[in-house]
Chains A and B, each alone.
Chain A
Amino acid sequence: MEALRVLRLVRQKEQDNSEAKYSDYDIQGAVNETLRYLNISLANKGNEYLQKIEVYDQNLINAQITAENEENAEDEEYIPKDLVDFAETGVALPEDYISLVDVQRTSDGYHLHPASSLFEVRSDDGYGKYIIMGDKIYIKGKAFQLCYYRVIPPVKDFKEDKIDLPEICLDPVVKLTRLVLNNADVDTMTQAVNTAVERIMPRRRYANSRQKMPFSL
Chain B
Amino acid sequence: MKVEDAVARLKTATHDISDEYTTEECIGFLNTAIQQVCYQLIAGGSPQMLKQVTVHNLEYLPVDFVRPAGTYPIKLTGQLIEFLDEDMEDLKVRYFATKEPMDNTTEDMPFVHEEINDIAVKVATLIALNQNEYDVSQDKAIIDELRQAIATGMAG
Does B bind A? Answer: yes
The interface stretch among B66-74, B97-105, B118-126, B136-144 is B66-74
**8 Å CB interface, B45-87 against A:** 45-47, 50, 68-73
Contact of A19 among B46, B73, B94 (CB under 8 A): B94
Residues of B close to A24: CB separation below 8 A = 70
Residues of B close to A19: CB separation below 8 A = 50, 69-70, 94
Number of cross-chain contacts by CB at 8 Å? 37
Report yes or no: B71 in contact with A18, Cβ–Cβ below 8 A. no
Query: From residue A199, how far is it (CB to closest CB) to chain B in Å?
Result: 30
Report yes or no: A18 in contact with B156, Cβ–Cβ below 8 A. yes
Query: From residue A11, how far is it (CB to closest CB) to chain B in Å?
Result: 11
**A-contact bits for B33-48, CB 8 A (1 contact / 0 none):** 0000000000001110
Contact of B72 among A16, A18, A21, A23 (CB under 8 A): A23
> Secondary structure of the B side of the interface?
loop
Report yes or no: B71 in contact with A21, Cβ–Cβ below 8 A. no
Residues of A close to B94: CB separation below 8 A = 19-20, 23
Chain A's interface size range is 10 to 19
Query: From residue A67, how far is it (CB to closest CB) to chain B in Å?
Result: 30
Report yes or no: A21 in contact with B45, Cβ–Cβ below 8 A. yes
For B44, the closest partner residue in chain A by CB is: A20
Report yes or no: B156 in contact with A20, Cβ–Cβ below 8 A. yes
Q: Is A22 an interface residue (CB 8 A)?
A: yes
**8 Å CB interface, A12-35 against B:** 15-16, 18-26, 29
Measured CA separation A21–B70 after assembly (Å): 5
Report yes or no: A21 in contact with B69, Cβ–Cβ below 8 A. yes
**8 Å CB interface, B103-131 against A:** none
Residues of A close to B50: CB separation below 8 A = 18-20
Contact of A23 among B45, B46, B47, B69 (CB under 8 A): B69
Query: From residue A134, how far is it (CB to closest CB) to chain B in Å?
Result: 30
Complex A-B: 6 CB contacts under 8 Å? A19-B69, A20-B69, A21-B45, A21-B156, A23-B69, A23-B70
Give chain A's interface residues, CB within 8 Å of chain B: 15-16, 18-26, 29
